[in-house]
Structure 1
Amino acid sequence: MGLQFDPANYDAQLAAKRQRLVDLLAPFDAPEPQVFTSPLEHFRLRAEFRLWYEGGVPHYAMFEQGDNRNPILIEQLPIASKRINELMGPLLEACKADPLLGKKLFQVEFLTTLTNEALVTLCYHRPIDEKWDEPAKRLAEQLDILLIGRSRGRKRVLERDHLYEELSVAGRTWRYQQVEGGFTQPNGHVNQHMLSWAVEAAGHNDDDLLELYCGNGNFTLPLSTCFRRVMATELAKRSVYSAVENLEANGVENVTLVRLASEEVTEALTGVREFRRLRGIELNDFNFGTVFVDPPRAGLDPATLDLVKGYQRILYISCNPETLAANLEELNATHRITRSALFDQFPYTHHMESGVLLERR
């Protein structure tokens, strides 16, 4: 991703994405999409590099998709955050200079934030133990970073395994815990646009929101201001722990978080099955008027599609416009699109995020 970096072509690429989305939504009489642009460079807050050794000397390397034999050696990556670019050279030089840091190091992963925190993970093809800690601590202090070491079956965390991001949405700043290895939106500036669009599209409501695939609470936090109550669901334990942390850190008290897969939510809400994880939660106390979904690339499964059809409004964020269009073929029978948007999370690639608001016909 980003190996075809060419800011001069950004507007043309974005126009092509917009037209692609317009064409996919045309059968459903969708309104013109709002388009949210990305910074032209230094927009990506995370990056990972394989190390490629030539003459025993390591270099950062990336590969074209499907080709792991022909590395593209990299010293700087313009799409990555300024913090990542600042760290790349000094970190690699330190690993070259110290065998405890550099021996059999095969991958380096960077995670940064809009607030300039940085967490770096060093991955090894050899066991690492407490002997690694001392030079790693010196490096972490020297570069002002958090540092983690990983080898097969082992993880060395020097201070903490997470960062804290701050995102501004509709005049409020939200604080998020972002855990190493967990999913986070890679383009922080565009993520703020996505959250702001979702809040505006949701409006102010006297009823409740059902959110599926809530992750670490990225959308949950700002959307909680738009509804009486929210029931947010997520299956991945690591994301659930972060979501709980984020709700508490931001003083959000009207969200009920449930660890269920979307298929299990359907079974629970339709009375097909009872779940121990729902003990103490009265589903009948909720009055869901809107459902929010941000599914994986495969889109909504048939059972979840049937579930969301039952709600007055569906707020749908998609990372795959083709599966969004396929889902809309089903939803179009009961709902109409009243808003649409394009979020350019991934400049210089064909990937894009989109959003639609559907309201019952």
Structure 2
Amino acid sequence: MAIHRVNTDDYPEQLQHKATRLREAFSAFTDLQPEVFPSPPEHYRLRAEFKVWQEKGRAHYAMYRQGEYKQPFIIDEFTVGSELMNRLMPQVLEAVNDSEVLRKRLFSAEFLTTLSGDALITLIYHKQLDEEWEAAARALQQKIGYPIIGRSRKQKVVLERDYVTERLQIGDKTYQYKQVEGSFTQPNGEICRAMIGWAKDACRDSEGDLLELYCGNGNFTIPLCEHFDKVLATEISKVSVNSAQENIRANGVTNLDIVRLSSEEFTQAIDKVRPFRRLKDIDLDSYDFSTVLVDPPRAGLDNDTCAMVARFPRILYISCNPETQLENLRELSKTHRVERFALFDQFPYTDHTESGLLLVRK
């Protein structure tokens, strides 16, 4: 069975349904209609992972319904994927099927692309990768013009590089980001641009300093630096912190420090519960934080972090799970009111909704 094109004619109605559902869910806390940021109806997804279904000596891209791993859905087109991804997919598959070395025991293929035209392909195997595989992969890399990575258990073979470079135009400025394979990046590039633009607009008249928790590779942090005197950001992933440091240098930012701490650890640090060696060069008392930006995982803010965040005059809360954001808002609404409210349609044609709130102290 093949997965064909999405029905783009249904998209406006589906998006309106999401907006209505989100407005009703938050109606106890705000009368605002959400600012709605639609996705492109096609070719919006910049990264994707495909299972590789092997049958009669041929490999096919496939996906599975949850719990149904014996019935693959063979993919002959993937119109939700970026145009670059769709251009590369058949080239990679043809090369795999022309090479026993590349095809044998291949079980997954990952594509990471950017709006600015970069790409990276990861081939994942149930076998150790040897010199013969490397030679075949280098030939494929030269043919398609983009880097290949090979992975198997406890093995990662990088032929050229393990990252892509994204360049995002936000207003009249272009921001450059190193995005490392396997680390988190926003999957919908145009929605990522919309989210950053919305956050910048919400912070346009800010004063003082910014704290950001869960900063990743600096996706929001770097564009927001121009609106604050100083910025301090935290992130727990070592890979993301290293990427963020490179992105700071690439964008010429001079008023931003990033430290590798979890939100729970930073809460302990700012409350002086215990010191952290990773903060030895950071004087927390020197900051005049006016705004905090949080973009937590689906679980939302833990109770201690939520209480800490409530001390700030302004809270910018980006969420990939409005249900947990709403749970946090029940506490935050005791001290703050909703100033702005947004819907970001990161995943069209699904029930998934992402939302943004600007909360201002009452």
Instruction: Tell me the TM-score range normalised by the shorter chain.
Output: over 0.9
CA distance in 2, matches of 1:306, 1:72: 46
SS in 2 for 1:26: coil
CA distance in 2, matches of 1:3, 1:208: 49
Deviation at 1:170, TM superposition (A): 2.5
Counterpart amino acid of 1:90? Q
CA distance in 2, matches of 1:353, 1:175: 24
Counterpart amino acid of 1:40? P
Partner in structure 2 of residue 196 of structure 1: 197
Partner in structure 2 of residue 269 of structure 1: 270
Partner in structure 1 of residue 65 of structure 2: 64
Check whether the contact 1:319–1:352 (CA below 8 A) recurs between aligned residues: yes
Counterpart amino acid of 1:124? Y
CA distance in 1, matches of 2:203, 2:301: 20
**Percentage of identical aligned residues:** 51
Deviation at 1:52, TM superposition (A): 0.9
Question: Structure 2: which 5+ runs fail to align?
Answer: none
Q: Deviations over 1:189-214 (max 9, x none)?
A: 11100000000011233300010000
Partner in structure 1 of residue 149 of structure 2: 148
The alignment status of 1:124 with 2:114, answered yes or no, reads no
Relative to structure 1, is the Cα distance of residues 185 and 70 closer, same or farther in structure 2, using a 3 angstrom cutoff? same
Deviation at 1:153, TM superposition (A): 0.7
Check whether the contact 1:30–1:339 (CA below 8 A) recurs between aligned residues: no
Q: Deviations over 1:75-107 (max 9, x none)?
A: 110100111111111211111111221111110
The alignment status of 1:115 with 2:127, answered yes or no, reads no
Counterpart amino acid of 1:192? R
Q: Alignment RMSD, CA only? A: 1.2
Counterpart amino acid of 1:274? P
Partner in structure 1 of residue 179 of structure 2: 178
SS in 1 for 2:28: helix
Q: Deviations over 1:252-294 (max 9, x none)?
A: 0100111100000000001111001101211100000100000
Partner in structure 2 of residue 316 of structure 1: 317
Give the count of matched residue pairs: 360
SS in 2 for 1:27: coil
The alignment status of 1:281 with 2:318, answered yes or no, reads no
Larger relative contact order (CA 8 Å, sep ≥ 6) = 1
The alignment status of 1:137 with 2:135, answered yes or no, reads no
Deviation at 1:4, TM superposition (A): 8.2
Deviation at 1:225, TM superposition (A): 1.0
CA distance in 2, matches of 1:29, 1:119: 43
CA distance in 2, matches of 1:129, 1:283: 50
Deviation at 1:297, TM superposition (A): 0.3
Relative to structure 1, is the Cα distance of residues 30 and 252 closer, same or farther in structure 2, using a 3 angstrom cutoff? farther
CA distance in 1, matches of 2:296, 2:31: 20
Runs (4 or more) in structure 1 with deviation over 3 Å come to: none
CA distance in 2, matches of 1:68, 1:45: 25
Check whether the contact 1:34–1:341 (CA below 8 A) recurs between aligned residues: yes
Give the structure-1-normalised TM-score: 0.98
SS in 1 for 2:15: helix
Give the structure-2-normalised TM-score: 0.97
Relative to structure 1, is the Cα distance of residues 279 and 3 closer, same or farther in structure 2, using a 3 angstrom cutoff? farther
SS in 1 for 2:232: strand
Deviation at 1:247, TM superposition (A): 0.5
Relative to structure 1, is the Cα distance of residues 58 and 34 closer, same or farther in structure 2, using a 3 angstrom cutoff? same
